[in-house]
Amino acid sequence: MTNPSNAPVDVPAAPRVDSELLEILVCPLTKGVLRYDPDRQELISERARLAYPIRDGIPIMLVDEARPLDDGEVRGETGAPPDLAGGDHPGGESAGR
């Protein structure tokens, strides 16, 4: 189907995430608070430095699916949990613990 150059294009809005669901979800890695980013459709765990995607209104709460945050994306929540201190990958655990 073609679109004439002057015709408006309907862009579907991102599905809304249930606000009650957002209140009870926590980061699966740190069990900490998540911040909802409606523009990027992500749930942000600043403590784990991960952004969990929301697809079709469903939060994907898997560490392997999360996007690592850049330094500029973290709002400044202080202190990483002991299991994250000094680790290269937020989802990894050290052997022998």
Predicted TM-score of the model (pTM): 0.64
Tell me the pLDDT tens digit for each residue of 23-43: 999 999 999 999 999 999 999
Better-predicted residue by pLDDT, 2 or 19: 19
What class is the 19-72 domain? mainly beta
- pLDDT-based confidence at residue 5 (cuts at 50, 70, 90): low
| 12 pLDDT higher than 90 | no
pLDDT of residue 97: 40
Of the chain, the percentage scoring pLDDT greater than 90 comes to 51
Give the integer Cα–Cα distance in Å for 61 and 71.
21
**Which tokens belong to 9?**
């294009």
| CA-wise closest residue to 30 among 57, 3, 66 | 66
